Amino acid sequence: MSPVLELSGVTVRLGGRVALEDVTMSVAGGEFAALLGPNGAGKTTLLRAALGLLPLAGGRTTITNPGYVPQRHEFAWDFPASVQDVVLSGLVRRIGLFRRPRVAHWTAVWDALDRVRLADLRTRPVGELSGGQRQRVLVARALALDPAVLLLDEPFTGLDMPSQEVLTELFTTIARERAVLMATHDLAAAAYTCDRLILINRTVVAAAPPGDLRDREVWMRAFQVGAESHLLKALGV
């Protein structure tokens, strides 16, 4: 399948420091790719650069109709809005500022809420939702745009196992129909679920299907850990 997201030689500077250097990677249609790396490796920066939200110091990006799910804590949950209002807010550019949403917009919102199994809660204030439900609201907000590729920034942080499982199943289905790039710290889940792991630490250290990433050196380089790392042992590398 042809790529829905492509970065070629991308360099990004933030606050005078190089956050990403010469990053070349892509995600194909139908693919579920994971973006892995330690804190500060540049995962969020890479997603934001791919979305065209950051100026590039070098290189170029192309992306087809993206949907973005930011980290849950970046969203103002105490804002007095219902579940369906939050999902609709993802369509603001399409509706036009200060214009009233049309039937097609509400249909897209309700379809997206159906998809994440939150249709019953659509008039509930978002402040009353659990962490797992809030994460699904953000996914619905991105899905309402009918994206070709979904960019997820650490969607599992702070979620219990049942919530993670519901979301993993949903992301896997979405990836097959569209494409998904997910930044995550859950290495074991990514290795089990994703088609390809992209290891970054300011630049791409390795990108391959999980079964092909057996070289411990590569993981040590990406995560700056020693050969005795418990996490790498648990991963079986």
Ligand X SMILES: Nc1ncnc2c1ncn2[C@@H]1O[C@H](COP(=O)(O)OP(=O)(O)OP(=O)(O)O)[C@@H](O)[C@H]1O
Interface positions with ligand X (CB under 6 A): 14-15, 19, 37, 39-45
* CB 20, min distance to ligand X, A: 8
Residue (6 or 153) nearer to ligand X, CB = 153
Task: List the one residue out of 194, 197, 221, 220 whose CA is nearest residue 207.
Answer: 197
Q: How would DSSP label each residue in the chain?
A: --EEEEEEEEEEEETTEEEEEEEEEEEETT-EEEEE--TTSSHHHHHHHHTT-S--SEEEEEESSEEEE--GGGS-TTSS-BHHHHHHHTTHHHH-TTPPPPHHHHHHHHHHHHHTT-GGGTTSBGGGS-HHHHHHHHHHHHHTT--SEEEEESTTTT--HHHHHHHHHHHHHHHHHS-EEEE-S-HHHHHHH-SEEEEEESEEEEEE-GGG---HHHHHHHHT--TT-HHHHHHT-
* CB 23, min distance to ligand X, A: 11
Residue (140 or 199) nearer to ligand X, CB = 199
Residue (18 or 232) nearer to ligand X, CB = 18
Residue (83 or 153) nearer to ligand X, CB = 153
Residue (72 or 118) nearer to ligand X, CB = 72
Give me the residue whose beta carbon is nearest to ligand X.
15
